[in-house]
């Protein structure tokens, strides 16, 4: 079963081979042309080092998590508006922050404290300058943010130190004046001022110590970012790369072509292969008939007995006998689910193939709506099946055909009530009489779905052959036709798949026969003789005006 599925996949690819080949080529060529016409883009890289001041316990898990979050935070802050707007102003660029951000990419280097900053630009030197400027501006803004946390406290302490310095200087001047005066009364005041000055000096010393400690604490708790590696002007563009782009586009085109082919096949609900006939209808396929090429006649079994199509009809004939070993088929009805699926063509050539095997065959055109057998055999009879049902004399309406052992019973004048006529007892009696006159009776009838003629006739025959056109007959229509025939009591012996594609399609397994010159020439002579006999037969027939529906392919 797996081999069958693989073979089906391979068949789908072969069927859509042109699309599978052309779409990738077209995508690759278009991508290559667009690439070579695109403006080159260069990328310059700068590397920043993030330094996290360690806490007391360097193995602290929280510190590791905090470092990772800090690096991610910095990588998010770098391509933001404050940094980019400052760089744009510094370099005098005409870009906006949003457009510049699209050309900036920040990447964390895994398991390190490094951040890679990539900037793209059409000018390699400008790309490097932008990368360095963005890195330096971020470092400046980050330092300012870090310092802002302690700036207010340091400024307050600094202001207090300044005030104490002023007070100390003023006290020292007062002491100096008192000492210069040298009076005994000033000794008490001098002692008081010296005591105040000593207090000022103590407070000053404490404030200076506090200031230095705070500065040290700020330095120890600040996270620093440095420019570890400056960006250099790149020597080659990062894009476009025509060959790489073309290869990627061709690969995408190949995937799209294969996906499209399988999608179309999945959505296609027509019957195309014998496997689908079996899966949809539970019915065996008696044979597959390839499409006819050229403008030859439709009686291919007569006109070209060495062709592959003729061999296909012989295969159908053989499979019919195998399908009815226990219950031989004397009367065979050929029909189709819908019109224009080739049932008349199949019936005529199948009857000819059976006759060529030595059996006496009568081909009955029981399509009383749009008969076609008289056109295939190129005769214009005045009477036929309908007239024989009225006068009860079948043999008087049988016509010789150019095929040995094959007699033709045309439809005759079209009746107003075909269904009632085919369902009558006279039709059943006529079938019995035809069975006595020939070994095999092949009947061409109307399609199953639009009309009831074939359903009333199906129970009266030994077997029914359902003709379907490959790639046209829908599975739902075929199932409905098979179910209708089964409900009518028909013996549905098999299906014939008509108009299958030619060699290499996977529908039909061809057999190659070698004919030497003698055999071929002999066949040619026999074909000429058959054509001569058909012309004589046509000249001896009575012509009738063309009737409605004679020009319809059925």
Query: In the structure, what pLDDT confidence band is assigned to residue 544 with cuts at 50, 70 and 90?
Result: very low
Give the Cα separation of 458 and 493 in Å (integer): 12
Is residue 118 a contact partner of residue 107, using CB atoms and an 8 Å limit?
yes
Helix (H, G, I), strand (E, B) or coil at 287: strand
pLDDT over 70 (residue 516): no
Answering whether pTM is above 0.75, one says no
Identify the sign of the CA torsion 318, 320, 325, 327.
negative
Q: State which CATH number among 3.30.70.1130, 1.20.120.80, 3.40.50.300, 2.60.40.10 fits the domain covering 42-229.
A: 3.30.70.1130
Helices 308-323 and 343-356, interaxial angle, to 10°? 80
pLDDT over 60 (residue 549): no
- pLDDT given for residue 455 in this prediction: 94
Q: Which residues contact 376 (CB under 8 A, 6 or more apart)?
A: 298, 299, 344, 345, 348
Backbone angles phi, psi at 292, to 5 degrees: -80, 135
Q: Which residue has better confidence, 160 or 463?
A: 463
For 95-154, give the DSSP string. --HHHHHTTEEEEEPTTSSEEEEEEEESSHHHHHHHHHHHHHHHHHHHHHHHHHHHHHHH
Kindly report, residue by residue over 202-253, the tens digit of the pLDDT: 888 888 888 787 777 666 555 678 899 999 999 999 988 899 999 999 999 9
Strand order in the sheet with 114-121: 104-108, 114-121, 42-51, 224-229
Mean pLDDT of 280-294: 86
Helix (H, G, I), strand (E, B) or coil at 433: helix
Cβ–Cβ contacts within 10 Å for residue 240, how many? 19
Window from 322-326, 360-364, 424-428, 429-433 with minimum mean pLDDT: 322-326
- pLDDT given for residue 220 in this prediction: 56
Query: In the structure, what pLDDT confidence band is assigned to residue 258 with cuts at 50, 70 and 90?
Result: very high
Window from 218-222, 374-378, 462-466 with minimum mean pLDDT: 218-222
Share of the chain above pLDDT 90, in %: 46
Window from 87-91, 149-153, 531-535 with minimum mean pLDDT: 531-535
b/e 422-432 (16+ beta carbons within 10 angstroms → b): bbeeebeebbe
Cα-based angle 510, 516, 522 (whole degrees, multiple of 5): 100
Query: In the structure, what pLDDT confidence band is assigned to residue 430 with cuts at 50, 70 and 90?
Result: very high
Window from 126-140, 284-298, 357-371, 536-550 with minimum mean pLDDT: 536-550
The pLDDT mean for the chain works out to 83
**Closest by alpha carbon to 126, among 114, 134, 137?**
134
Query: In the structure, what pLDDT confidence band is assigned to residue 355 with cuts at 50, 70 and 90?
Result: very high
Query: In the structure, what pLDDT confidence band is assigned to residue 503 with cuts at 50, 70 and 90?
Result: low
**Closest by alpha carbon to 145, among 91, 86, 90, 225?**
225
Q: State which CATH number among 3.40.50.300, 3.30.980.10, 3.30.1490.20, 3.60.15.10 fits the domain covering 287-506.
A: 3.40.50.300
Mean pLDDT of 360-385: 90
Query: In the structure, what pLDDT confidence band is assigned to residue 91 with cuts at 50, 70 and 90?
Result: very high
pLDDT over 60 (residue 512): no
Give the Cα separation of 445 and 337 in Å (integer): 11
- pLDDT given for residue 71 in this prediction: 78
């Amino acid at each position: 079963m797996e081999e069958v599925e693989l073979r089906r996949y391979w068949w789908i690819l072969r069927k859509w081979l042109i699309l599978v080949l052309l779409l990738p080529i077209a995508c690759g060529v278009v991508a290559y042309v667009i690439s070579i016409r695109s403006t080159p883009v260069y990328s310059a890289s700068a590397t920043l080092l993030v330094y996290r001041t360690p806490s007391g316990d360097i193995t602290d898990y929280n510190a590791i998590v905090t470092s990772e979050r800090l690096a991610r935070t910095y990588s998010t802050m770098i391509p933001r508006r404050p940094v980019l707007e400052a760089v744009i102003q510094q370099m005098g660029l005409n870009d906006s922050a949003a457009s510049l951000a699209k050309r900036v990419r920040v990447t964390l280097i895994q398991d390190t404290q490094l951040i890679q900053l990539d900037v793209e630009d059409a000018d390699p030197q400008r790309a490097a300058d932008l990368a360095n400027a963005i890195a330096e501006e971020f470092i400046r803004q980050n330092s300012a943010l870090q310092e802002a946390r302690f700036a207010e406290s340091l400024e307050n302490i600094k202001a207090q130190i300044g005030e104490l310095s002023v007070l100390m200087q003023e006290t020292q001047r007062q002491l100096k004046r008192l000492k210069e005066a040298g009076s005994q009364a000033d000794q008490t005041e001098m002692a008081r001022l010296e005591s105040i000055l000593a207090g000022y000096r103590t407070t000053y010393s404490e404030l200076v110590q506090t200031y230095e400690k705070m500065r040290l604490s700020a330095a120890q708790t600040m996270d620093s970012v440095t420019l570890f590696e400056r960006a250099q002007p790149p020597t080659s563009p990062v894009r476009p790369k025509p060959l790489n782009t073309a290869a990627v586009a061709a690969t995408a085109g190949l995937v799209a072509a294969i996906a499209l082919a399988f999608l179309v096949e999945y959505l296609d609900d027509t019957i195309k292969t014998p496997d689908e006939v079996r899966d949809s209808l539970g019915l065996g396929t008696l044979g597959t008939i390839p499409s006819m090429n050229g403008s030859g006649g439709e009686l291919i079994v007569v006109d070209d007995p060495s062709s592959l199509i003729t061999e296909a009809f012989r295969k159908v004939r053989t499979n019919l006998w195998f399908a009815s070993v226990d219950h031989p088929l004397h009367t065979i009805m050929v029909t189709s689910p819908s019109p224009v699926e080739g049932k008349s063509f199949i019936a005529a050539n199948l009857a000819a193939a059976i006759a060529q095997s030595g059996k006496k065959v009568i081909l009955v055109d029981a399509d009383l709506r749009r008969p076609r057998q008289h056109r295939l055999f190129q005769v214009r009879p005045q009477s036929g099946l309908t007239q024989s049902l009225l006068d009860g004399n079948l043999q008087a309406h049988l016509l010789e055909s150019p095929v040995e052992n094959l007699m033709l019973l045309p439809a005759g004048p079209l009746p107003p009530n075909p269904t009632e006529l085919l369902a009558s007892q006279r039709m059943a009696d006529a079938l019995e009489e035809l069975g006595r006159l020939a070994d095999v009776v092949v009947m061409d009838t109307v399609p199953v779905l639009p009309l009831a003629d074939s359903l009333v006739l199906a129970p009266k025959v030994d077997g029914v052959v359902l003709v379907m056109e490959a790639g046209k007959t829908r599975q739902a229509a075929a199932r409905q036709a098979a179910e209708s025939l089964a409900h009518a009591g028909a013996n549905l012996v098999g299906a014939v798949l008509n108009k299958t594609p030619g060699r290499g399609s996977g529908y039909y397994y061809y057999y190659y026969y070698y004919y030497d010159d003698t055999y071929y020439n002999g066949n040619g002579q026999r074909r000429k003789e058959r054509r001569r006999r058909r012309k004589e037969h046509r000249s001896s027939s009575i012509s009738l005006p063309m009737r409605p529906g004679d020009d319809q392919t059925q």
